[in-house]
Amino acid sequence: MIHIFGLKNCSTCVKAQKMLTAQGLAFQFQDIRQVPPTTEQLKNWSAQLGWDSLINKKSQTWRGLTDQQKQLSNEADLITLVQEHPSLMKRPLLVQGDRLILGLDEKAYQQLA
């Protein structure tokens, strides 16, 4: 099963869902504002992608953080920060088993089965 983590009103997340639907692929969408990622999920994702990839430092949410919050580097603090501000995550994040695709990557989506 393919899982997409994102925001329901995010145009890129909507495009990702449309692409998967067009390919006839079943997926489950999770709005990260309604159900934030778990600590375990964030640990796994950051281990594979790195925090610099996982956190969108160009987002409006990032710009609204305090300087102290922007300087956090401890994993536990970063997990808490993303859980409190889920829109900090780059999106969509597509998860299929151990495979992660961050962002809208049409070629990678076409290789899904």
Tell whether omega for the bond before 92 is within 30 degrees of 0, i.e. cis: yes
13 catalytically annotated: no
C-alpha distance from residue 94 to each of 2, 25, 45 (Å): 7, 12, 11
Q: Catalytic one among 3, 10, 53, 65?
A: 10
**Quick one: CA torsion of 67, 69, 73, 75, rounded to 10 degrees?**
180
DSSP secondary structure string for all residues of 64-77? TS-HHHHT--SHHH
- Tokens 């610099």 correspond to 52
Residues in the chain: 113
Point out the residues that are catalytic.
Answer: 10
